[in-house]
């Protein structure tokens, strides 16, 4: 519950504001047409990555975004674990997410110690 405490929220609001402004500048301003569903999914993923993992851009961000999308798309499919099937892609995405998170955690533990 400390995550939602006043001091934590005080720290998160500027990060939320910066992420929101950057997203609007990159994906909304000056465009005649916007694919709302894709743009909103990217925005929410950006917020989550920034708040929970402190990752804003880079190869880990884009890799995780792709893997999470594969995982979500295949989660409620028939459990056919055959290459090319959505369920198989979901399993691969889950494994990639786990490896990426393990790398991030290991790297941060080394920095803290």
Asked whether residue 1 carries a pLDDT value surpassing 60, the answer given is: no
- Quote the pLDDT of residue 4: 66
18: three-class secondary structure by DSSP: helix
pTM: 0.77
pLDDT digit string (tens) for 68-100? 999 999 988 888 888 989 999 999 999 999 999
Average pLDDT score over residue span 21-43: 88
pLDDT digit string (tens) for 2-25? 666 777 777 888 888 888 998 889
């Amino acid at each position: 519950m400390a995550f939602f405490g006043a001091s934590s929220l005080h720290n998160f609001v500027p990060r939320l504001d910066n992420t929101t402004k950057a997203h609007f500048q990159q994906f909304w301003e000056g465009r005649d047409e916007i694919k709302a569903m894709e743009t909103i999914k990217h925005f929410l993923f950006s917020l989550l990555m920034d708040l929970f993992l402190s990752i804003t851009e880079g190869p880990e961000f884009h890799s995780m975004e792709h893997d999470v999308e594969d995982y979500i798309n295949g989660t409620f499919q028939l459990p056919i674990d055959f290459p090319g099937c959505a369920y198989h892609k979901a399993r691969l995405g889950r494994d990639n997410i786990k490896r990426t998170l393990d790398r991030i955690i290991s790297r941060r533990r080394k920095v803290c110690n």
